[in-house]
Structure 1
Amino acid sequence: MTALLPGAVCSAVLMTVAFPKPALWFLAPFALVPLLFAIHRKPAAVSCARVFAACYACAAAWQLASLWWIGYVTIAGMLALCLFVALIVAGALTLSWWLTRRGVPLWLSLPAAWMTYEAVVSYLMTGFPWLALGYTWQPRTAAIQIADLAGVYGVSFVIIAGTAAVTQLLCALTGSSPFRPAVTALAIAGAAMAGSLAYGAARLGELDREAPERSIALACVQANIPSNVKHDPRLDADVLRRHAYWTCEAAASNVDVILWSETALPGYFHERGLSYHTVTGLVRRTGIPLLTGMATYDYRNGAITYHNSACIIGTNALPGTAYDKMHLVVFGEYVPFEKYLPFLKLVTPIEGSFSAGSRPVLLELDTARAGRVSFGPLICFEDVFGYMARLMASAGADILVNLTNDGWFRSSPGPYQHAALSTFRAVETRRPLVRATNSGVTLAADRAGRITHVLTDAGRRTELAGMLVADIPVHAPRTTFYAAHGDWFLVLSCIVLVATTIAACLRRVQA
């Protein structure tokens, strides 16, 4: 283990800095090389237990260094999440090592194992695919266009194929393995990289040549309400005052709609209290509809159910059909098995649980300039999940809208990571995406995932108040391969790994 530790530590550091921030994306293909070279250089000289221990140490350090900001909300939950995900990472890398000892080339075992790891963390226990490797390449616009074919996971494959190639080349140069597998790995990685760049260049050219059918002018209000203020009923009037100030500033720009962030309204709008009277008066005064997040409740089967919702409040001061958030954050919006394991509430700050919505609902707005525009709402971390954006696109959304409150996480890497991964939903569905946040990062991205507008002050994008005005082009809707077929690439990767593992086991039995 001691001999493997330097490689594990080095890889943990490189993996951490490849993600925002500081977003040193060019390190991504090389980040795991120190660890992999250490365990593959002399595979017969190390035991499976030592390999797993080194991989787990690397993965745990990487997860903790990248996701420490979750501790602002729940330290116990952050530790449990990071250490659990590290088990999956270590298991995947150890399985890849074991397969290479059974004659499977690294260029096959590593991508299959890594993509299976990303599949597991994307779906197990509601999923948390936050650190998918492909997100590191968000600044590389051409390279991420393959996301409309295979999602962010296609980009992850290109990166991890490069990792396998570099590792095999180093092993060949040091005499640890023959050159033929290294040449094959380099050919595969080179083809994957060249293919993704060529596809990206072609797609970007096509998108840039396509003229929009219309455009809509909108403004996002970033009120920067601290968490201790946002959840103190005694300060509701101050919360609304801050939102109203920036809303009036935005109204001067003659926009078609103004966006507020997730649960921006204190209390419950339909109870016709302070929020109701303030917002309806504001909408009437400005003459501009408001698309906002709010908490709602209703009665179902004789019980009250609470929802994290979004709706448009029109100029007639009446709310339209609301969308209830479908994918809830475990320990953030609900506690699993709360009825049977009440002690689990000790790891979360929430006082009660939300209930999930049952279907995607578009928020539609009729405008004089752009006609009817359909917004596909993604609340909080729903923009982390490709399937949620696909649902909204399939329902007919013209624009994806992410309403979120990352104020809990201050100016940590969390809001920057969230902003980077959010833009992939635009590429996957070929819909523009707008983010209205409480404290940052508020932005607009085009169909290619390029950030076209962002609220910033002297380079700072978080913990500041302001408003962002953007003109969003609306194009004829299209259905991408990824939107139509979902995570087919992850399924294929899992099948390849299972088949390869079974074949390796059978060869061992026959031997």
Structure 2
Amino acid sequence: MKMPGHWLTTPWRRSAVAALAGALPVLAFPAPSLWWFAYVALVPWMMLARSAPTGKRAAYDGWAGGFGFMLAMHHWLLPSLHVFTLVIAALLGGLWAPWGRLVRHFLTGTGRRIAGAFFVLPSGWLLVELVRSWQGLGGPWGVLGASQWQVEPALRLASVGGVWLISFLIVAVNVAFAVLVVLPRSRVPALAALVASAAVTSAAWMWSPRPDADGQVRIAVVQPGVVDGPDSRFAREEQLTRRLAAQDVDLIVWGESSVGFDLGDRPDLAGRLATLSRETGADILVNVDARRSDKPGIYKSSVLVGPDGLTGDRYDKMRLVPFGEYIPARSLLGWATSVGKAAGEDRRRGSEQVVMDVGHGLKVGPMVCFESAFPDMSRHLAESGAEVLVAQSSTSSFQDSWAPEQHASLAALRAAETGRPMVHATLTGVSAVYGPEGQRVGAWLPTDASTAAVYDVPLATGVTPYVRYGDWPTHAALLILAAWCVVQGLRTVRLRRPAPAPHVPPARTAHGSPARPGR
């Protein structure tokens, strides 16, 4: 099947179509949340790359599609970063250029090449997700598997192989549908791939270990809403927290940047927090965004306060938001501050993750803001004994965008991966809580809410396969790609090897004996 329209031969038109095709998968994420669309969303993009006249053009299709995907996924950054959002999307979109060539290579073949497409193309996509998940490139926001945050069978897959296993299967299903559309003669391997995907999901559903229920705790989330100024915000949070008295809560969580002053410099604020802790009978986990009094620089820190004041438990944010909290290579890219709301001063990084004992024998693992997007961080906290994962966040700069819901949905994946409940507490919404299998606990607190909510959070014990074995799907993908590269290399060497010279029999005399060379 060929892509219709000779107008696709114009490079810029073709690139525009590729960008639109690449943007389609974003509809599977919140806010649209058309989760089922993820399983066919890549088909138009792959059909376009397959129809490319050359491998180079297919690479451009991959790049343009990646640009469209990145821009659509991060479109809510435009009011803050302006033109720099386009620059970032263009740079990260280039990661899909090799994938576009792979699509053309595999989907224009037959037989073994088509069979290999169901392994190599998902592996190539996973490699792209792995590379762009590096914190310096923006982190794993918009990983394809994260679109399935509310699908129970997919969450079960996450407990086995993390969000990476979900991404692999989604791409494999897209490849199968693409083959059914453009290569009807290869429908047998395509149908086999669909059956295999269903079988893997069913096997995970039936045989993957489930977390063992281990009671519950009452955790309160304080969401003040949009309040101008750190003093007014603190007063509103104090007012909401006081309403939690006599509600028998075990822990109270405030959002990111909920305290705008270093508590070591402000004993009055630390004292007010201690008073709240005594009144409510619970420790309070706040988040301080301020210049430190004991070391140079500004830190974002999760700080635990008990009835006697600061407990000494503190976690300094380790993975900062590029441009939002620091500017990579500031000497070269510092101009970003003149065109948007990029960080005027770099925040400082913490050095290690921390598990806190918040009283009542409960251990929590705090993360700050987009750290909840990193599967390895929540996995490490679960390995270190955290019974509840907590993310303190603020998306107040993006209130009217898709960002708050996208961020809140990530906690469901982290809970399912680790078998530990997760609390996502924000300043201005969306706040959410999930149980140890990724199931929603209670209602989301929307962006227009200014309230304190109490959640009965189920606890669980046991170790999920993902916590035990880690990112094995990405390792398998790298092995698949390495094996394919070796096979391709051997095939190239074999094709370039010169053919042996033809054998010429020696001349014979009239009597039939070999002729002897003259002297």
With the length of structure 1 as denominator, give the TM-score of the two structures.
0.87
Matched, 1:289 2:283: yes
Q: Is the 8 A contact 2:122 2:168 kept in 1?
A: yes
For 1:232, the equivalent position in structure 2 comes to: none
1:131–1:340 CA distance, 2 compared to 1 (3 A): closer
Separation in structure 2 between the aligned mates of residue 30 and residue 278 of structure 1, nearest angstrom: 54
1:120 equivalent among 124, 131, 134: 131
The Cα of 1:389 is off from its aligned counterpart by: 0.5
Separation in structure 2 between the aligned mates of residue 38 and residue 12 of structure 1, nearest angstrom: 10
For 1:78, the equivalent position in structure 2 comes to: 85
Separation in structure 1 between the aligned mates of residue 67 and residue 201 of structure 2, nearest angstrom: 31
Q: How does 1:499-510 map to 2 (within 5 A)?
A: 499-510=483-494
Separation in structure 1 between the aligned mates of residue 329 and residue 138 of structure 2, nearest angstrom: 17
1:134–1:283 CA distance, 2 compared to 1 (3 A): same
- 3-state SS of paired residue (1:258): strand
1:154 equivalent among 136, 145, 165: 165
Separation in structure 1 between the aligned mates of residue 293 and residue 225 of structure 2, nearest angstrom: 32
* 1:432-483 Cα distance to aligned partner (Å, 9 max, x none): 0011111111111011111112334xxxx2232112211112223x232222
The higher radius of gyration belongs to 2
1:27 equivalent among 14, 21, 37: 37
For 2:357, the equivalent position in structure 1 comes to: 364
* Uncovered stretches (5+) of structure 1, i.e. residues with no partner: 230-234
Q: Is the 8 A contact 1:162 1:186 kept in 2?
A: no
Q: Is the 8 A contact 1:309 1:325 kept in 2?
A: yes
Matched, 1:144 2:161: no
* 1:41-92 Cα distance to aligned partner (Å, 9 max, x none): x56xx12232233333332223212211122432244223222221112332
Q: How does 1:6-17 map to 2 (within 5 A)?
A: 8=18, 11-17=21-27
Q: Is the 8 A contact 2:419 2:460 kept in 1?
A: no
2:468 equivalent among 484, 495, 498: 484
Q: Is the 8 A contact 2:223 2:425 kept in 1?
A: yes
The Cα of 1:305 is off from its aligned counterpart by: 3.7
With the length of structure 2 as denominator, give the TM-score of the two structures.
0.85
Instruction: Please identify, of 30-39 and 98-107, the stretch whose mean Cα deviation from structure 2 is larger.
Output: 98-107
Q: How does 1:12-91 map to 2 (within 5 A)?
A: 12-40=22-50, 42=51, 46-91=53-98
Q: How does 1:182-193 map to 2 (within 5 A)?
A: 182-193=187-198
Paired-residue identity, %: 28
Q: Is the 8 A contact 2:327 2:342 kept in 1?
A: no
Separation in structure 2 between the aligned mates of residue 98 and residue 505 of structure 1, nearest angstrom: 15
* 1:141-195 Cα distance to aligned partner (Å, 9 max, x none): 122212122110100111111011111111223xxxx42xx32232123212232
- 3-state SS of paired residue (2:404): helix
Q: Is the 8 A contact 1:442 1:468 kept in 2?
A: no
The Cα of 1:373 is off from its aligned counterpart by: 0.4
For 1:317, the equivalent position in structure 2 comes to: 309
Instruction: Please identify, of 264-273 and 332-341, the stretch whose mean Cα deviation from structure 2 is larger.
Output: 332-341
Matched, 1:465 2:450: yes
1:438–1:392 CA distance, 2 compared to 1 (3 A): same
1:419–1:153 CA distance, 2 compared to 1 (3 A): same
Q: How does 1:291-440 map to 2 (within 5 A)?
A: 291-295=285-289, 304-338=296-330, 342-343=334-335, 345-346=337-338, 349-367=342-360, 372-440=361-429
Separation in structure 2 between the aligned mates of residue 31 and residue 402 of structure 1, nearest angstrom: 30
The Cα of 1:322 is off from its aligned counterpart by: 0.4
Separation in structure 2 between the aligned mates of residue 73 and residue 252 of structure 1, nearest angstrom: 42
1:61–1:441 CA distance, 2 compared to 1 (3 A): same
For 2:260, the equivalent position in structure 1 comes to: 266
Q: Is the 8 A contact 1:93 1:114 kept in 2?
A: no
For 1:248, the equivalent position in structure 2 comes to: 242
Q: Is the 8 A contact 1:145 1:203 kept in 2?
A: yes
Separation in structure 2 between the aligned mates of residue 198 and residue 498 of structure 1, nearest angstrom: 27
- 3-state SS of paired residue (1:431): coil
Q: Is the 8 A contact 2:176 2:190 kept in 1?
A: yes
Q: Is the 8 A contact 2:388 2:420 kept in 1?
A: yes
The Cα of 1:10 is off from its aligned counterpart by: 5.7
Q: Which runs of 4+ in 1 moved over 4 A?
A: 3-7, 99-103, 201-204, 296-300, 339-348
Separation in structure 2 between the aligned mates of residue 203 and residue 415 of structure 1, nearest angstrom: 31
Separation in structure 2 between the aligned mates of residue 315 and residue 49 of structure 1, nearest angstrom: 65
Separation in structure 2 between the aligned mates of residue 242 and residue 387 of structure 1, nearest angstrom: 34
* Uncovered stretches (5+) of structure 2, i.e. residues with no partner: 1-6, 496-519
1:342–1:123 CA distance, 2 compared to 1 (3 A): closer
- 3-state SS of paired residue (1:116): helix
For 1:196, the equivalent position in structure 2 comes to: 201
Separation in structure 2 between the aligned mates of residue 155 and residue 98 of structure 1, nearest angstrom: 24
The Cα of 1:328 is off from its aligned counterpart by: 1.8
The Cα of 1:253 is off from its aligned counterpart by: 2.4
Instruction: Please identify, of 1-10 and 426-435, the stretch whose mean Cα deviation from structure 2 is larger.
Output: 1-10
CA RMSD of aligned residues (A): 2.5
- 3-state SS of paired residue (1:312): strand
For 1:443, the equivalent position in structure 2 comes to: 432
